[in-house]
Amino acid sequence: MPRLVYSLMCADLIIDKDSSSTSFIRTIEHAVVPELPTVLPPVYFASLWDLDGNEAQPFTVSLTLTPPAGKSITLGVQEITPGATMLHKMNFQVPGLKVETEGKHTIGVSLKVGDKWEPMAELPLFVFKSEAT
């Protein structure tokens, strides 16, 4: 089973074509918005998976958004077919996230194991409404 080494959200990322190293630009853990509900700008979800000796074995990952007091919304599901390496980077752009309330939202990262989804990580996304001046 693949093991999640890291996951994060950022405003942008740069991948060096020679070394495949990734630079994460402006990591995101909160947003300040003028009004609610609103749609946040697109962000990148970045992750690194240790394939644990299962190189080239496909696996499926899902992302969900859970508001402070609400039901999870699936943002996307992706089946990964890795190359013949021990590590696999999965970076993709998440379109604007619709948020309706202030507070701690959670981006959930899950791995499909058989017929079930196993939670791998929870990334906080705090949303604050700016004060009127």
pLDDT tens-digit series, residues 32-60: 999 999 999 999 999 999 998 766 789 99
What's the average model confidence in pLDDT over 5-21?
A: 95
Domains and CATH numbers, the chain: 3-129 (2.60.40.10)
Q: Are 26 and 41 a contacting pair, CB within 8 Å?
A: no
**pLDDT surpasses 70 at 115:** yes
pTM, to two decimals: 0.89
**Degrees, nearest 5: CA angle 49-50-55:** 105
| Coil, helix or strand at residue 130 | coil
- CA-to-CA distance for 97 and 3, rounded, in angstroms? 26
53: left (phi over 0), alpha (psi -120 to 50) or beta: left
User: Which band of pLDDT confidence, cut at 50, 70 and 90, is reported for residue 82?
Assistant: confident
